[in-house]
Amino acid sequence: MKEKTITANQIKKKYLRKLSIELIKRGASNDKIKTVLDEVSFSVDDYISEFKPKDLEEFVSKFGSPEDFCDNNSIIRSKVASKGQLFLITLMVSSILIVPVISIVSLFTISLYSNASDFTTLLQIWPYLGISGVNTGYGIIGTLFGLNVFVWMLYQFLKDKFSPYDIRELVKGAILGLYWYLVVFCLYLILDSYISHYLVIQDMWNQNMKLLILEGLFRWIALESVLLITAIFYTYKYRKQYHKIDIAKPKIYLIDKIGLLVVIFILTGFISAGPGMGILIIAIGIGVLFLTKFTGNTWLLGLLAIFLQLGALVTKMIASFQYPQYFRTWIFFGIQTTETNDYLIFVAILAFCLAIVWSVICIKQLKKNKRKLLPRFRIPNGKTSLISVFLVSLTLIAVLGTQPQKVRYASNTDLYQESTYFEIDQSYLFQRKGKLSISVYTYIEETSHTHYSNGTIIESTHHLEGNWYLTWTPTGEFRTFRIEGNFDNYSTPSYSIDDHNVSIKYISLNVNGTGVLKYHITLYSGSLTKIHPYMQLQFSAIVPWLPNWYDIIIFVCVIFFIFFKWDEKTLQLASNLKKGDD
Amino acid sequence: MSIDEHDDEILLKKWRAQLSKGILEFLVLILLQKERYGWDILQLVRSLLPLTEPPLTDGTIYNVLTRLKRKSLVTYQNRTVGGRVRTYYVLSEKGQELLHVMKKDWEQLFASISEAGELFER
């Protein structure tokens, strides 16, 4: 009996999927496709229960093929409309592909640029060594947040547009899969910053910095919780929709309300502008243009997206042997410039022009859709407010302050040269006030000339000769901190060597403003010909829990969207008209 | 076959398709003045509209029943006959009212066509 039910369902699903393909081919409108499929699903149910076909072929031969159905119901092929449907499908597929493509490309190309975030890492290239800067911290997570918005926007577009029997409904499953991919990816990045640098965490913990560690953990947990909670909600809703299709009464969950989530995710994504973010904004812009209904929310979000680009400041270091210098650059819609601050004027004018164009489009659309231009105050219901406040609080906790960050610098050049010594300088620019907790680990490999030429690598750190120092120089001031030691002097208290890890144990600095942390190594190579320096540094800053201007914007926007709503224009009542006439 | 004949055939096909589509719901409503089940309706519709182009499929006729059902124009009942579940349909009160209006429209249409014919004969 159960088998028969499954077969009947399968026949129904397969037939309706085929019918949806035929309707798409003929260029039927999305509304028409949805209506037809929903209606035919009932007919198929009745027909199957009465005639009990054994398989799809038998069913089609009696019930009629999708082509026959379309012909009988005068659904004629339209070349223009079918091209439109093809364009829509292409947009959907490419929108989904953009998520894994951007995140994977980011991972592979991250070493190609000096990434920027609240904590700006920098790339300093010593003339003889190819050292690339890597920051797997905020950049990618910020980008993923942005991608979440885009994926969610697509889901919003799809969730009501298609019948559950539409072939394009499969896209919902793909979107859900992508969402989980983002959740897991983010979790990996979070765990990685703790697991791969557990020594630093251990150092900090032993130095009575337990609260700092716990605070950082709490923030990461909050961040991941937001992602997990939403992912579970979406999955629950998706499964419910898929297994128990109720065409007549689609239930709207709070989680489906795009405004709130867009504000949370889009703005948290913007907190740290990376090179990928600009491209994402364009993608989101296209998404908004094509995929959403134009409301006041759309207008406001578009304006925010444009103007937030003005905050996409990047501070970049340039190499200097004596003193690392830095200058600020801007990323605007994904384009990074090496120009100085004058670029801001250009960016501001461009943003202003874009805002005008965007406003004109939105106002026209609002008028066309008979919507009011100004929002109306409304008192939200208790449940909505409570959940909104919960999600916003969780997000703010996650983004305020700073989580432990890791920075990894690795040589990407296999050095094979006769040289008496190597010097490596690595500098980091910190932009926030607070207390920095730093541990530095340098992974060093050495190989003798003989073994190297034989293709054999013998790694050893027993014969290290040289010295190191670590300095802190506040911006525009003289150096205020210096710690140094020799690699062959084991009496240096903060220096230790274990296997290949040359470690400078936990150092704590009180930082009153921006400045540069510089790590310098000089190694006398002697008979050694290959050195593969690999430096890892983890830091965590105690920063005030006061919000920055991005956080304030998030808060204000969310509150605004909770209390204000753009209504549809309502027709004037006849009685009112009469009064007016009198 | 000349081009004109071919065009005429296409025109005739289109006209028949439109005609059968236009009267399908009307015809089913007429048939459902008496309680009938799915297969019975299918056979009757086919025998009454033999020239429909393209031929009416079961799906199309069943879809008409679904539409009438969803609009509460018919009431239905499931009964098991010979181990099979059959759905029996009959006009609802709302359906009868609609049929009454449709019949009047049809009579009017028929009268208009007759009148047009008479005009030609004069």
- Provide the CATH number for the domain around residue B74: 1.10.10.10
How many independent structural domains does chain B possess? 1
Task: Give the chain A residue nearest B79 (alpha carbons).
Answer: A50
Residue B29 has pLDDT above 90, yes or no: yes
Q: Does the CB of A1 have a partner CB in chain B at under 8 Å?
A: no
Spatial separation of the C-alpha atoms in residues B52 and A406, rounded to whole Å: 74
In this predicted structure, the answer to whether residue A58 has a pLDDT above a threshold of 80 is yes
Nearest to A402 by CA among A137, A200, A122: A137
- What value does the mean pLDDT take over residues B99-106? 93
Q: Percentage of residues in chain B with pLDDT exceeding 90?
A: 29
Q: Is the pLDDT of residue A315 over 80?
A: no
Per-residue confidence at A541, pLDDT binned at 50, 70, 90?
Answer: low
Whether A74 sits inside 8 A of B17 (CB atoms) is yes
Name chain A contacts of B38, Cβ cutoff 8 Å.
46-47, 50-51
Full-model pTM = 0.61
For residue A306, the model assigns a pLDDT of: 75
Contact with chain B for residue A5, Cβ under 8 A: no
* Contact: B62, A72; criterion CB under 8 Å: no
Q: Domain boundaries in chain A?
A: 2-77, 405-542
Give the residue from A501, A120, A165, A178 showing the smallest Cα distance to A316: A120
Q: Is A150 left (phi over 0), alpha (psi -120 to 50) or beta?
A: alpha
DSSP 3-state of A164: coil
Indicate if the pLDDT at residue B30 is higher than 90: yes
- The answer to whether A43 contacts chain B (CB < 8 Å) is yes
- Tell me whether residues B66 and A63 touch, CB distance under 8 A: no
Q: Please write the tens of the pLDDT for every residue from A259-313.
A: 555 555 554 554 444 444 555 556 566 666 666 667 777 787 778 777 766 665 5
* Residue B90: predicted pLDDT: 92
Answer yes or no: do A40 and B63 touch at CB < 8 A.
Answer: yes
Residues of chain B contacting A72 with CB distance shorter than 8 Å: 17, 21, 54, 56-57, 59-60
Element (H, E) at A500: none
pLDDT of residue B47: 86
Q: Which of B21, B66, B69 to mutate to test the interface with A (most CBs of A within 10 A)?
A: B66
Put simply, the answer to whether A72 touches B84 (Cβ < 8 Å) is no
A356 pLDDT tier (thresholds 50, 70, 90) = very high
Q: Mean pLDDT over residues A171-191, rounded? A: 80
Tokens read off for A397: 């906790």
Pairs across A and B, CB distance < 8 A: 72
Task: Give me the domain span that covers residue B82.
Answer: 3-121
Report the share of chain A in percent with pLDDT over 90.
Answer: 1
CATH topology for the A405-542 domain: Jelly Rolls (2.60.120)
Q: Which of A46, A68, A74 sits opposite B62 (nearest CB)?
A: A46
Q: With beta carbons under 8 A apart, name residues in chain A contacting B59.
A: 40, 43-44, 47, 63-64, 68-69, 72
Question: What does the alpha-carbon distance between residue A321 and residue A521 come to, in Å, rounded to a whole number?
Answer: 12
pLDDT at A536: 57
* Higher per-residue confidence, A249 vs A68: A68
CA distance A319 to A325: 7
- Encoded tokens for A453: 């030429």
pLDDT at A497 over 80: no
What's the average model confidence in pLDDT over A23-30? 88
Contact flag B54-A72 (C-beta cutoff 8 Å): yes
Mean pLDDT for A80-104 is 79
Q: Does A524 score more than 60 pLDDT?
A: yes
Q: Provide the pLDDT for residue B108.
A: 92
Q: Which of A363, A360, A325, A328 is nearest to A347 (CA)?
A: A328
- HEC sequence for chain B: CCHHHHHHHHHHHHHHHHHHHHHHHHHHHHHCCCCEEHHHHHHHHHHHCCCCCCCCCHHHHHHHHHHHHHCCCEEEEEEEECCEEEEEEEECHHHHHHHHHHHHHHHHHHHHHHHHHHHHHC
How far is B43 from chain A, CA to nearest CA, in Å? 12
The string of pLDDT tens digits covering residues B36-89 is: 988 888 889 888 887 777 778 888 888 888 889 888 999 988 888 777 778 889
Residue B73: its pLDDT value, please? 92
Comparison of pLDDT for A53 and A291, the residue scoring more: A53
- Quick one: DSSP state of residue A400? S
pLDDT-derived band at B3, boundaries 50, 70, 90? low
Cβ of residue A73 closer than 8 Å to a chain B Cβ:
yes
pLDDT-based confidence at residue B94 (cuts at 50, 70, 90): very high
What residues of B are in contact with residue A74 (Cβ under 8 Å)? 17-18, 21
Q: How far is CA A567 from CA A261, A294, A298, A371, A377, in A?
A: 20, 12, 13, 6, 10
User: Worst-scoring range by mean pLDDT, A234-248, A562-576, B104-118?
Assistant: A562-576
**Per-residue pLDDT tens over the stretch A420-438:** 666 766 666 665 556 666 6
Return the half-sphere exposure (C-beta side, CA atoms, 13 A cut-off) of residue A556: 10
CB proximity A482 to B under 8 Å: no
Please give the pLDDT value at position A130. 21
